[in-house]
Amino acid sequence: MNESPVRWVRERLGYEPRDPGLFGAALTHRSAPGPNNERLEFLGDAVLNLVIARHLYRMFPDASEGDLSRLRARVVSGEPLAEVAAGLGLGDALQLGSGELKTGGFRRQSILADALEAVCGALFLDGGLAAAERVIERLFEARIAALPAPAALKDAKTRLQEHLQSRGLSLPRYSVDGIEGEAHAQTFRVICDVPDLGRRAEGRGSTRRRAEQAAAERILLELPP
């Protein structure tokens, strides 16, 4: 570990720890000796989700539950968490076992994301929810500001379903029309059939779900604005 936990917390998070041991554990992977961050990760996941959910609830007063869930996933899923952690130089403060060090664990997305959640748990235990909220909102401010409109996050199948339901029409039917390629590199062909509109379209993808999404997208493109 190149940087002490307390120094990292002070300089990167702008927070003065009361219990340095909490942050030492938060920045210790289970592969290293001593208290590690697994329990703090569990707690921090809940804290992070609560803080971001409350922020989005206030920011998007007309968004549905599904919209809010999709927006939250854009902020607190593994990839964005790892990117925020990397931007904070969290890997430089992370204590890893020798095996993880040799394999570059301090750059691994899952390890960085988990450690950031653990830090959020430590913030909550050390300073309470208000202190954790101040730090979390500052860390994710730019990502939240860059979120698209809620409707833009809906996948093609959801958008097609809502389009049909709003007009009292029957839901689309999806059927696999064929599977091509070897087991490790298959391509699915799926037909999306919308009888009430007299439309059907084919979609292709590496999984059935992706093929269904592609077929639904083609139907949507054919619909009048």
The amino acid sitting at 58 is R
Question: Which sequence positions are flagged as catalytic?
Answer: 45, 117
What does DSSP assign to residue 93?
G
Q: What is the longest distance spanned by two Cα atoms in the chain?
A: 66
Q: Which residues, 6+ apart, have CB-to-CB distance to 169 below 8 Å?
A: 194, 196, 197
CA geometry: angle at 162 spanning 204 and 203, to 5°? 5
String of b and e for 57-68 (b: at least 16 CB within 10 Å)? eeeeeebeeebb
Q: Which two tokens stand for residue 49?
A: 């989700």
CA distance 72 to 60: 11
Rg of the chain over Cα atoms, rounded to whole angstroms, equals 23
Q: How many CB atoms lie within 10 A of CB 114?
A: 25
